[in-house]
Amino acid sequence: MSIAITLATMRRILAQLRHDHRTLALLIGVPALLMILLRYVFDQPMVFDRIGPMLLGLFPFTVMFVVTSVATLRERTSGTLERLMTMPLGRLDLLLGYALAFGVIALVQVGVVLLISLTWLGLDLSGSLGSLVLVAVLDALLGMSLGLFASAFARTEFQAVQFMPAFVLPQLLLCGLIIPRDDMATWLQVISDVLPLSYAVEGMQEISTRTDFTPTLALDVAVIAAFTVVALLLGAVTLRRRTA
Amino acid sequence: MRDLRVVRGGREVLHGITCDVPRGSVVGLLGPSGCGKTTLMRALVGVQIVKGGTVTVLGEPAGSPGLRRRVGYATQTPAVYADLTVAENLRYFGAVLGAPRTDVDRVIDEVGLGTSRDQVTATLSGGQLSRANLAVALLGTPEVLVLDEPTVGLDPVLRQELWELFRGLAEQGRTLVVSSHVMDEAGRTDRLLLMREGRILADGTPDGLRSRTGTSDLEQAFLHLIAEKAGSPT
């Protein structure tokens, strides 16, 4: 593993995105648009204050999942991964390069949505801005690492895109956003307990209702980070130097 | 390379290949499409799962970490980032290899891509793309270059130039393994490995093969060898 190679990889991924204006516009614009829609669909500041932050964690997660799974699949199918595997690049260099690049993108994405939410849409946040950004970026990295891992099981971009509903929608139903987790049947709660998005949403709930950095929030952050690291390591296992 | 066997897609595609490549020479790997050239090259750079046999490059097992800076590889289908410019691609691969920054301009010059330096590779022509792909393999100072059909789709002038480049590299002591299915390129190599259906049909200098088969044309020599093989009980 080498810092120079990791940083070169990050710069390369950002350069790719810079050339792809439409993807960049979608990455930044879609979450902002959804947030604006959400604000006026409910049209009740109280409801928006409660649900807004949860969605702030959800957008980067979903978007990064899709973008990363397609990006890494492309890397596998275009032969560039094989080429890199003949070079002195460690698997972690590649994964961390992706993590850093998409972390930067997530920061910009969350920054824009936050700016719009706090000014124009009048979002009222109880907790600190810093912890909200922290959880949102962690969610983005979680989506990225799951996307990386999922891409190993896709052979085509069609399949990779289908993984989004498969990985994300069940989590969305069970994470407590639609129905509070306490109101679910026990077996659903158990499943919900082992899905990372539940912690992402719980973390955001804490930030939107509490002013201090609660122990629950600390636990949520730790769980999301742990899931991210495990998914990245599993992703590393799926990057093989030798293939058939 | 000793008794190399490779199975791909449930079928054995290399049936025990044994050969040596001397340093500082240009070795041509020739044979029809599907004869196992690419598989052999993949084994040489250590990305192919092999069933049996050993491949040793510069005294180390193929694919060892120590070889990753010393062996350059260009795949047949261009493996560059389509959404980056030629120079951006080379800068990135150069950084991974730890090559000096000046290498980018050197290799662009070597493959004659000066005018499309800042063009996104997705918009390059087939020939330009394959040259961009070749340029990546030339980054740094690889002692061994494994080039899979580097001259496909190029005009004769450019092909001539590339073969001169390969010759120059060999004179610096680098070893080149170049595959092709065009017989007229075979004459430019120091040594030829003729492959067919996962086996090495002949191994020798172009002149040696011509005189052995009594033909002046390597295409004829190849046909002669196939007929000879079919006629013999082994």
Per residue in A195-223, pLDDT tens?
Answer: 999 999 999 988 888 888 889 999 999 99
Is B47's CB within 8 Å of A244's CB?
Answer: no
Residue A244 maps to a domain: no
Is B96's CB within 8 Å of A84's CB?
Answer: yes
Kindly indicate the confidence band of residue B4, based on its pLDDT and cuts at 50, 70 and 90.
confident
Mean pLDDT in chain B? 89
- Are residues B135 and B148 located together in one domain of the fold? no
Is A86's CB within 8 Å of B71's CB?
Answer: yes
Per residue in B160-205, pLDDT tens?
Answer: 888 999 999 999 999 999 998 777 788 889 999 988 888 888 888 8
Number of domains in chain B: 2
Is A80's CB within 8 Å of B80's CB?
Answer: yes
- Are residues B28 and B98 located together in one domain of the fold? no
Kindly list the distances between the CA atom of residue B87 and the CA atoms of A52, A77, A172, B106, B115, in Å, as whole numbers in the listed order: 43, 22, 42, 11, 11
> Could you give the strand order of the β-sheet that contains B52-54, starting from the edge strand earlier in sequence?
B11-17, B2-8, B52-54
Nearest-CA residue of chain A relative to B63? A86
Question: Do the beta carbons of residue B89 and residue B132 sit within 8 Å?
Answer: yes
Kindly indicate the confidence band of residue A87, based on its pLDDT and cuts at 50, 70 and 90.
very high
Query: Which pLDDT belongs to residue A63?
Result: 87
- Are residues B64 and B16 located together in one domain of the fold? yes
Does the structure show a pLDDT above 90 at A57? Answer: no
Looking up residue B27, the CATH number of its domain turns out to be 3.40.50.300
- Are residues B55 and B147 located together in one domain of the fold? yes
Query: Which pLDDT belongs to residue B232?
Result: 64
Average pLDDT over residues A139-163: 88
**DSSP reduced 3-state for A244:** coil
Nearest to A87 among B84, B88, B97 (CB): B97
- Are residues B148 and B58 located together in one domain of the fold? yes
> A89 touching B, CB under 8 A?
yes
Does the structure show a pLDDT above 90 at A167? Answer: no
Average pLDDT over residues A55-75: 88
Query: Which pLDDT belongs to residue B233?
Result: 52
- Are residues B56 and B147 located together in one domain of the fold? yes
Give residue for tokens 């979903």.
Answer: A62
Q: Which domain holds residue A147?
A: 3-238
Residue B162 maps to a domain: no
Question: Do the beta carbons of residue A94 and residue A72 sit within 8 Å?
Answer: no
Q: Which domain holds residue B52?
A: 1-70+143-152+167-234
The more confidently predicted of residues B89 and A165 is B89
Predicted TM-score of the model (pTM): 0.89
Nearest to B77 by CA among B143, B121, B141, B116: B121
